[in-house]
Structure 1
Amino acid sequence: MSTDYQQAREALGLRLRELRLSAAGGRLTGPQLATLLGWAHSKVYKLEGGKQTATPDDLRAWAAATGHADLVDELLGRLQGFESHIRSWRRQLAAGHRPVQETWNTEVARAQLIHAWEEAVIPGMLQTADYARHLFLRYAALQSSPPDADDAVRARMRRQQWLYHPGHELRALVWEAALHALVCPPVILAAQLDRLAGVIGLDTVELGVLPLSASLKLPAANGFWVFDERLVITEDWHAELWLDDMESVTGYLRVWGALRDSAVYGAEAHRVIARARGALNLRR
């Protein structure tokens, strides 16, 4: 979790503590407030200590219980300020995967140049519908999110229209490991690899593959996307991280450049993809 995010969460916790101690009916102890709210005592202390992220409903209830209902907008503003950078999967996927894909579509539509690095999966903008569907089904099972895989796939496929507009450029890097990862049945992965090979030579796509045998300047860590020079989106198992400060954007572009130095392109990339496809057991 980022330092800035944690500091913001702790600052919100301190503000909540101030409201508890200055409650309209007199100072409240943590247990007293927890009783009023019907919460476990530990939740009050976790929120105040910055160890748990409040929900909007938590903040409304806290403000009402302490007699500070007039400060709800302030509290919600603080939450929105730092949650715009750390977007937990639990909250994002409460309504399913399609809304998340639509949010991505908006950012992609704004961009002219996109740098992408994926170490474990084929980049979303180069995926087939069947490959994408299997990914959504697996993540929905993990997160216990609404089963809207088909709607999410349609949203992701619409994003690929961006590739066919002049003036756009996707500079994508993929680690060879992603070409072998059986996150779907082998026959679907085979079709996906055919699709990947087919975009080589497209004038809006620069596709590089990092062979497993390549000497790497940096470890092949988490995937990320850089939109123009204004926004980075990366993710972990708990959340998606949106970074729009210039220092972060510049840093991720440096990482992308270091990874690019290990990539192969054109005919060599074709050979790596063909090798992965040839290794598939299509009878499985």
Structure 2
Amino acid sequence: MSTDFQQAREALGARLRELRLSAPEGRLTGPQLALRLDWPHSKIYKLENGRQTATTEDLRAWAEGVDQPQAFDELDARLKGFESHIRSWRRQLAAGHRPVQDSWNAEIARSSLIHAWEEAVVPGMLQTADYARHIFLRYADLQNSVRDTDAAVRARMKRQEWLYQGGKKFHALVWEAALHARICPPSTLAGQLDRLAGVIGMDTVELGIIPLGAPLKIPAANGFWVLDDRLVIAEDWHAELWLDDADSITTYLRVWDTLRESAVYGADAHNVINHARQALNPR
């Protein structure tokens, strides 16, 4: 967990403790507040010591439990401030995948230059609708989230309109492993590979493929996107990280530049894609 995030969580916990100790009718002990809220005492301890992330509902209950309901807006603003950097999938997907895609679309629309690295899947900006559908279904199963698959696919496809606007540039790096990953039926993957081959040569797209046998200066770790020089979005199993500090952006761009040294482009990239395509129908 990032230091900034943990420090913000601890600061919120300290504020919660302050509200408990300054209750209008006299300071409350942890067990007393836990009894009022019908919570285990351990939850009071974890929240105040920054060992558990509060939910909006937790903060509302706390403010009312210490007889200071007016404090809720302040507490909720604090939560939104640091949670904007670490966006848990559980919370993001509570209403389905479409709202997540809408958030991405808004950020993409603000961007002119995008650097993307994907080690396991084809980047969303270059996905076919069928391929995207299977990706969303897999993640819905994993996260037990709302199945709004068709709406999510439409939103992702709409995002790709960005690629056909003048003045835009999408620098994509993909590990060859993603071209072989059977996350979808072979026929769907074949169509996706054809789509990838088709974007090579577009003036708004620079697609690099890192062959499996290429020497790597750093490990091919989790995928990430850098939007202009203002935002990094990196994905992990539990959450998306939205990072807007200069040091993080510089680090991720340096990682991207290092990975790029192992990539092939143009005709060589075509050859790697064709190899993956042929592997789907071996003779």
| Structure 2: gaps (5+ residues) | none
CA-CA distance at 1:281 after TM superposition:
4.6
Moved more, 17-26 or 101-110: 17-26
1: distance between equivalents of 2:25 and 2:145?
41
AA aligned opposite 1:210: I
AA aligned opposite 2:76: L
**Equivalences, count:** 283
User: For 2:229, what is the secondary structure of its paired residue?
Assistant: coil
Aligned to 1:258: 258
1: distance between equivalents of 2:40 and 2:227?
42
CA-CA distance at 1:56 after TM superposition:
1.2
CA-CA distance at 1:103 after TM superposition:
0.5
Aligned to 1:151: 151
RMSD of equivalent CA atoms: 1.2
Aligned to 2:15: 15
Aligned to 1:162: 162
Measured against aligned partners, the alpha-carbon deviations of 1:205-227 in whole angstroms (never above 9, x if no partner) come to 00000001001111000100011
Q: How much identity, in percent, do the aligned residues show?
A: 74
AA aligned opposite 2:197: A
User: For 1:241, what is the secondary structure of its paired residue?
Assistant: strand
Aligned to 2:105: 105
Runs of 4+ in 1 over 3 A off after TM superposition: none
1: distance between equivalents of 2:275 and 2:40?
56
Pairs within 5 Å for 1:23-38? 23-38=23-38
Moved more, 154-163 or 244-253: 244-253
CA-CA distance at 1:196 after TM superposition:
0.5
CA-CA distance at 1:143 after TM superposition:
0.9
Measured against aligned partners, the alpha-carbon deviations of 1:230-251 in whole angstroms (never above 9, x if no partner) come to 1110011111111111111111
2: distance between equivalents of 1:7 and 1:246?
18
CA-CA distance at 1:41 after TM superposition:
2.0
2: distance between equivalents of 1:281 and 1:237?
32
Residue 197 (1) aligns with residue 197 (2)? yes
AA aligned opposite 1:171: H
Aligned to 2:140: 140
CA-CA distance at 1:31 after TM superposition:
1.9
Q: TM-score, normalised by structure 1?
A: 0.97
AA aligned opposite 1:256: W
User: For 2:273, what is the secondary structure of its paired residue?
Assistant: helix
Pairs within 5 Å for 1:76-91? 76-91=76-91
CA-CA distance at 1:150 after TM superposition:
0.6
| Structure 1: gaps (5+ residues) | none
2: distance between equivalents of 1:34 and 1:130?
49
2: distance between equivalents of 1:245 and 1:216?
27
Aligned to 1:125: 125
Aligned to 1:226: 226
